[in-house]
Structure 1
Amino acid sequence: MKRTKKGTPRKSKSAKPVTAIPAITGSAAAYAHPVRDVGQPVFAQPQPTPDPTTFRVNHPSDGPAYAAIDQLNKQHKLLPLPFPLPRGGVEPQLTLGQVMGGNAAAIKRISQNGQLVFHSTGDCGSTRGPATQSQVADKMTSDFQESDPREVPQFNLLLGDVVYSFGEASYYYDQFYDPYRDYPAPILAAAGNHDGMVSPLAHATTLDAYLRNFCAEGFIVTPEAGGLSRTAQIQPGVFFTFEAPFVRIIVLYSNTLEDPGVIADSTIGNAQLAFIKAALQRVKQEKFTGALLFADHHPPYTVSIHGWSIELLKQVDTLCDEVGVWPHAFLSGHAHNYQRFTRTRRSDDTQIPYVVCGNGGHNVQKLSTPGAPVLRAPQIIQKASATTDQVVMENYDDKNYGYLRLIVTASQLRVEYHPASDGVDTKTPDDFVTVDLATRQLVQYVANDLGVPAQARQVRKLRRAS
């Protein structure tokens, strides 16, 4: 999110989450392509095509809308917006098998391989043209070219702000469908503040296009796809538990304010708190031993123009402490750069990476102001005390666009950061962190044998023979 002025939520006791997902409304009705129910998921176009050089739909300045928002901000009238409750009860759930259309063979293959790989990035929509978002999408797509099938990504989890500036249906083709037209796997998305924001100058419904394109009840091609083949995602709503071999991801909606992120208050209710508690209790009851991640848009920790989402983190921590289940990592976007933090819990010295990846295509933001000293990492940003955990900023990138590549096995979670500027012919991460799932300590990654040692042995054998 590029806005720098912050809104302070004001308490209200009236509104609660509404319960129905909006149907297709005016903005989408103008599209020439009707809704098509294809009955099964489609991810990529049949053949790759060159990247576009311009947008299909002109994106005029949003300055007048932001000026109106600034006035509302000064009057303390900006509140989190109520949202439709997901399908599926207290803990809405979705599996990789479901988003793959019931492809049991694919799920079995991942389990047999002993490893799951997936992508994640945030703030991918661009208002200035397709170049930066295409650069990131193209590099992610190149990760599907692997000599070992274990290394192939199985899905992509976007960390919010898919479409700027107000999640308009008219920009979904240019900012989402077109850049990812060749990405051959499912794409899910946490909703960001821009995906739910409503322009004061427009008559629109919060999350309207997001819900239609990421929370459909079946595998449909929406008008926003603009003639491309990718089907809408079937998430149950804006918060849910996503399950795949070796991993569970608790996806949250941190609402529409610039700062802070809000998952529960008197305006939007406590449905997400009940959801988190139910999800954590199920982890405990089922004795799930895989990787547990949280994912949302607003980061709990950040070093940028954005502030910390302190109350959000406190609410999550309270539930984790109550149930006795903590995540192995926390993924967020919102800040338009890459940042990685390590939190060391004072109660047991376990370590949790908090990773911010909000440089998926929208205007990278520097962490240092012009003329100021460049930020040094690593450094402590919160000292340990009787009431606080130590938090260390480990690394950052505020120059490039990029994404995360995550690898999960039965024993480890590895989070890699790849800048798009490295190009499609580079597959070495610029930053990485590995968590031991059992001890919850940062450890050395146990790499796969991808054939290089065997090739080296063969070369040595040939040399000895000669």
Structure 2
Amino acid sequence: MTRKQKHSVEARDGLEAVELGQPGFAQPQPTPDPTRFFIRHSSDKQAYKTIDELNREHRLKPMPFPDPRGFSDSKPEPVLTLDQVLAETTTASAISAAGQLVFHCIGDTGNVRGPETEELVADKMSSDFDERNSADIPAFFFHLGDVIYNFGEAKYYYDQFYDPYRDYPVPIVALAGNHDGMVAPGVQTPTLQAFLENFCQSDFVVTPEAGGLSRTAQIQPGVFYTFEAPFVRIVCLYSNTLEDPGVIADETVGDSQLTYLQAALRRVKHEKFTGALIIAHHHPTYTAGSQHGWSIVMQAQIDAACEAAGVWPHAVLSGHAHNYQRFTRVHGKTQIPYIIAGNGGHALARLGRRGEPPLRTPMVIQKATGNTDQVTLESYDDTHYGYLRIVVSAAVLRIEYHPADDGAGVKTPDDAVTVDLATRTTS
């Protein structure tokens, strides 16, 4: 099916996903960037007026969601591996033999106004597949949520996801952001419906939302799971649908994610896993001067699980705030980077108020007092779109930040942090 046939696809009712039995990624031949969306995004002004009123009245709550496939008390940790999403068993061994894994990471990529900014990031990321050393080529893209705006509607998946990444040649796995699970006021669509259809299939299928492009839906077990690749485990959490704060467990959504998190951390301890451990969720733990606040209760729940297991992450990744921010949390003798990578294509958010001087870094945003850890804002970018390039070996985890408008000819990061996996210190 060609891109010109896209409108005829939308016109047919009752379309179903087509099973392929094997994954698909980029188009066989590179295609030009689109200059407009196929579907005009209508205004959400009235919907947000209603949402703001409900927020002021404290009437909005997180939304219950389905547990992942196979999740149970006896099997509390859903796991997805890189070899599974590639449908082959040689990738992990090849990466291990090369001595390092490279992958991309960013969130908040959807855009309601047009394709230009998300195409800017996607094109810059695609330039990383042209490398002198094959070990430097990314193996996958881990998405930090808010794939689609504003309410995760299926009809916008082609414009905001499939088309921007039509030439991206490796798997895209994701966690769900608040906009991926939000439901517009007055709409009866179940929460996360389109996200589950396009990221949580049980087999490799092409969904109607792909509009005939080659990328198959992902086979994630659900909205929380452990993603495993050589040298790294990513513990993926779903922080639900509120603008703030992030919620992983409460009386409305239950505690299935806490059960999962505890099991995942216990397995790290039991297996004496020596690779990089990353915890990822859409809502950030800390922000500096952004319109979004801290998720204090969520962080306390994660900290309690880490404390009980005796296992702490080497890094924590999130999106939601539409910019790049890097913090260092000093916990005992360990230094943990907390990174916001939410400038993947949606509107940028400045950290300071209009007319104020820019923030100077490093800046301590939380002092160590008693049981409270010191947290320092080390670096930020609130004026450019960009992404993370993450490199993991048996010894170190290196997280690089690359602005997109540097262009394909620049491969020097604007910011970077390296974590020694053994000493858990940063440089």
Fold similarity call, TM over 0.5: yes
Q: CA deviation at 1:368?
A: 1.3
Q: Which residue of 2 aligns with 1:385?
A: 369
Give the 5 Å matches for 1:99-114. Answer: 99-101=85-87, 103-114=88-99
Q: CA RMSD in A?
A: 1.3
Identity over aligned pairs, percent: 63
CA deviation vs aligned residue, 1:111-165 (integer Å, no higher than 9, x gap): 1001000000000000110000000001101101111111000000110100000
Q: What is residue 205 of structure 2 aligned with on the other side?
A: 220
Q: Is the 8 A contact 2:83 2:90 kept in 1?
A: no
**Cα distance in structure 2, aligned partners of 1:29 and 1:87:** 32
1:258-273 pair list within 5 angstroms: 258-273=243-258
Cα distance in 2 for residues equivalent to 1:33 and 1:375: 50
Determine helix, strand or coil for the equivalent of 2:399: strand
**1:332 is matched by which residue type in structure 2?**
S
Separation (CA, whole Å) in 2 of partners of 1:73 and 1:106: 47
Q: Counterparts of 1:171-190 in structure 2 under 5 Å?
A: 171-190=156-175
Partner SS, residue 91 of structure 2: helix
> Is 1:315 equivalent to 2:301 in the alignment?
yes
Give the Å deviation of 1:34: 4.4
Q: Does 1:168 align with 2:168?
A: no
Residue 380 (structure 2) aligned to one of 384, 392, 396: 396
CA shift for structure 1 position 29: 8.8
The within-5 A match list for 1:18-97 is 30=12, 34-89=16-71, 90-97=76-83
Whole-angstrom distance in 2 between the partners of 1:151 and 1:52: 28
Deviation of residue 201 (structure 1)?
2.9
Tell me the alpha carbon deviations over residues 209-253 of structure 1, each in whole angstroms, 9 at most, x when there is no partner.
000000000000000001101000000000000000000000000
Q: Any conservation in 2 of the 1:33–1:226 contact (CA below 8 Å)?
A: no
Q: How does 1:93-172 map to 2 (within 5 A)?
A: 93-101=79-87, 103-172=88-157
Identify the residue that residue 202 of structure 1 maps to in structure 2.
187
Aligned residue in 2 for 1:367: 351
Q: Which residue of 1 aligns with 2:320?
A: 334
Task: Give the match's secondary structure for 1:406.
Answer: strand
**What residue identity is the alignment partner of 1:88?**
G
**Matched AA of 1:63:** K
Name the aligned partner's letter for residue 36 of structure 1: V
- Separation in 1 of the partners of 2:422 and 2:253? 36
SS at match of 2:220: coil
Q: 1:257 to 1:28 in 2, by over 3 A?
A: farther
Q: Which residue of 2 aligns with 1:324?
A: 310
Structure 2 unmatched ranges of 5 or more: 1-8
Quick one: distance in 2 between partners of 1:405 and 1:326?
22
SS of the residue corresponding to residue 402 of structure 2 reads strand
Instruction: State the 1:33 CA deviation.
Output: 6.0
Q: Which amino acid aligns with 2:31?
A: T
Residue 292 of structure 2 aligns with an amino acid whose one-letter code is: H
Distance 1:131 1:33 in 2: 29
Looking at structure 2, the residues matched to 187 and 33 of structure 1 have their Cα atoms a distance apart, in angstroms, of: 23
Q: Which is worse superposed, 80-89 or 411-420? A: 80-89
CA distance in 1, matches of 2:344, 2:70: 30
Q: TM-score, normalised by structure 2?
A: 0.95
Distance 1:424 1:221 in 2: 30
Query: How far does residue 74 in structure 1 lie from its aligned partner after superposition?
Result: 2.2
Shift of 1:203: 2.0
* Deviating 4+ runs (over 3 angstroms): 27-34
Opposite residue 57 of structure 1, the aligned amino acid is: I
Question: Which residue of the partner structure matches residue 23 of structure 1?
Answer: none
Q: Distance in 1 between matches of 2:10 and 2:302?
A: 36
Structure 1 gap ranges (5+): 1-26, 444-466
Residue equivalent to 1:432: 416
Matches of 2:296 and 2:328, distance apart in 1: 16
Shift of 1:88: 2.7
Letter in structure 2 aligned against 1:112:
A
After TM superposition, give the deviation of residue 31 of structure 1 in Å.
Answer: 6.2
Tell me the SS of whatever aligns to 2:129. coil
SS at match of 1:143: helix
| Larger mean Cα displacement after TM superposition, 365-374 or 396-405 | 365-374
